[in-house]
Amino acid sequence: MKRIRWQGRVALALAMATAVTPAWACTRAVYLGDNGDVITARSMDWKVDVATNLYVLPRGIARTGQAGPKSAAWTARYGSVVATGYDVSTTDGMNEKGLVANLLWLVESEYPQQRGNKPGLAISLWAQYVLDNFGSVAEAVAALEKEPFAIVTDKVPGEDRQATLHLSMSDASGDSAIIEYIGGRQVIHHDRRYQVMTNSPIFDQQLALNAYWKSIGGTVMLPGTNRSADRFARASFYINAIPKAEDPVEALASVFSVIRNVSVPFGITTPGEPNISSTRWRTVADHKRRLYFFESALTPNTFWVDLNKVDFGGQVLKLDLGRDQRNTFSGDALSQFVPSRPFAFLGTDG
C-alpha cells in the first residue's frame, strides 16, 4: 500500500513538472565538501534582462517592510553583498557571517490573504530581511517559525502578474532551509540534506521526484531537459557525485561545473515550453572563505568579491554590471565598487 502511495506521489509530481513553468526558472545547489567546505551555487534564468547589479550593504541600515501601514521595521545587524533584481529587490546574496539567501520562482506560491495583526513585509525585502538579521540557518528558522511578518507580494516590474517566490537559505555549517507559502501558509523545510531547490513543483513533490531518480541511479540515466524537475534531479546527483576536494580551487571548479550543467543555454527557446528561459547569470558563494563569485552569460570572465576585505561598517557601494550584465570584470572586483545611494526596494511607503 505504501508503495502505491509513493508511486502516486511521483506520478502527480511528474505530471505537474511537465506543465508550463514560469519564466524565472532558476536552480540552487549546496556542495558539502571535506574540511568543512560549504559552497552554494545558483543560476538566474529569466526571459529578459533582469537589470541586476551588485551592492555592498553595510550593517546598521534602518529598514521598513515597505508594505504600507504597520510595516515591519528593523536595523541591519549584519552587512551583506547582494545581487538585485531590477534594482528593486534582493534576489541573491551572502552576509558577513556566511549566511546565503536565494529567491527562486514558485508558481504555486499563495501568500496570506489577511495580515491580521502581523507587520507587513514586501516580498522584495524577504531575502534582505534574512541577510540583515541572522547569522545562521538555525537562527533564521527559529525566528521565522514564529511568523513575525506577513509577506505582501507585488507585480513583477514591467509585467501584469504577481511575484510568486520561494526562499532558500544555507550557511557556513552546511545547514539548509527552504521556505514556501502553500495555500496561504508558511511551510519550512529545514535539514542539511536539502541541498537542491529549483522551481515547480512544490518542494515536497521535488523530493518525491528525486527519490524516483535515485532509485534509477544517476550513472544509469538522468533527465536532460530544461524543466525544473529535471534540473533538480541533475543538480542533486552531480552536487553529491563530484569529488570532495580539499583544494578550494578544485572544489569551486566542480561546483561551477554543476551549476553550468543545469543552466539553460543563452538564447534557447523550447517548443511547447515558451516560458523556459535562458540563464542570465550564476553566483557561487564560498561560505568558508567568504567569497561571492558572479558569472554573467554574456561576459568572458568570472569575478568575485572577498567579503573579508569589505568594510561592512562603511557606506553603500555599487558595482554597475550594465545592460544584460555585459560589463566585464575579473579577479576580486571590490576595488571597482563605487559609493552609491541604496537602491529603493519595491513596495509601499507609509
- Determine the Cα–Cα distance for residues 14 and 229; give it in Å rounded to an integer: 8
pLDDT at position 72: 96
pLDDT at position 13: 45
Say if residue 145's pLDDT is above 70.
Answer: yes
Say if residue 39's pLDDT is above 70.
Answer: yes
Residue 220: which pLDDT band, with cuts at 50, 70 and 90?
low
What one-character DSSP code corresponds to residue 23? S
- Determine the Cα–Cα distance for residues 343 and 88; give it in Å rounded to an integer: 6
Q: Please write down the HEC assignment for all residues of 287-338.
A: CCCCEEEEEECCCCCEEEEEHHHCCCCCCCEEECCCHHHCCCCCEECHHHCE
- Determine the Cα–Cα distance for residues 14 and 9; give it in Å rounded to an integer: 9
Mean pLDDT of 101-109: 93
> Is 26 a residue of the active site?
yes
Q: Tell me if 208 sits within 8 A of 6, measured CB to CB.
A: yes
Mean pLDDT of 25-37: 93
Query: Regarding predicted confidence, which is higher, 15 or 155?
Result: 155
H helices of 145-272, in order, are: 203-216, 228-241, 248-261
H-run or E-run covering 274: none
Query: Regarding predicted confidence, which is higher, 156 or 334?
Result: 334
pLDDT digits (tens, 9 = 90+) for 259-273: 999 998 888 766 555
pLDDT at position 1: 46
Active-site annotation holder among 26, 76, 125, 291: 26
pLDDT at position 175: 98
Mean pLDDT of 145-172: 92
Q: Hey, what's the cell of 135?
A: 547569522
- Determine the Cα–Cα distance for residues 258 and 252; give it in Å rounded to an integer: 10
Mean pLDDT of 157-175: 92
Chain mean position to CA 114: 26
Q: Which range is least confidently modeled, 30-39, 51-60, 78-87, 150-159? A: 150-159
Q: Which range is least confidently modeled, 37-46, 85-94, 197-206, 283-292? A: 197-206
The pTM is what?
0.90
H-run or E-run covering 29: strand 27-32
Which distant-in-sequence residues (6+ apart) come within 8 Å of 142 by Cβ? none
Residue 4: which pLDDT band, with cuts at 50, 70 and 90?
very low
Mean residue pLDDT across the chain: 89
pLDDT at position 326: 97
Mean pLDDT of 32-51: 93
- Determine the Cα–Cα distance for residues 137 and 116; give it in Å rounded to an integer: 27
Residue 53: which pLDDT band, with cuts at 50, 70 and 90?
very high
Sign of the dihedral through C-alpha 33, 29, 126, 62 = positive
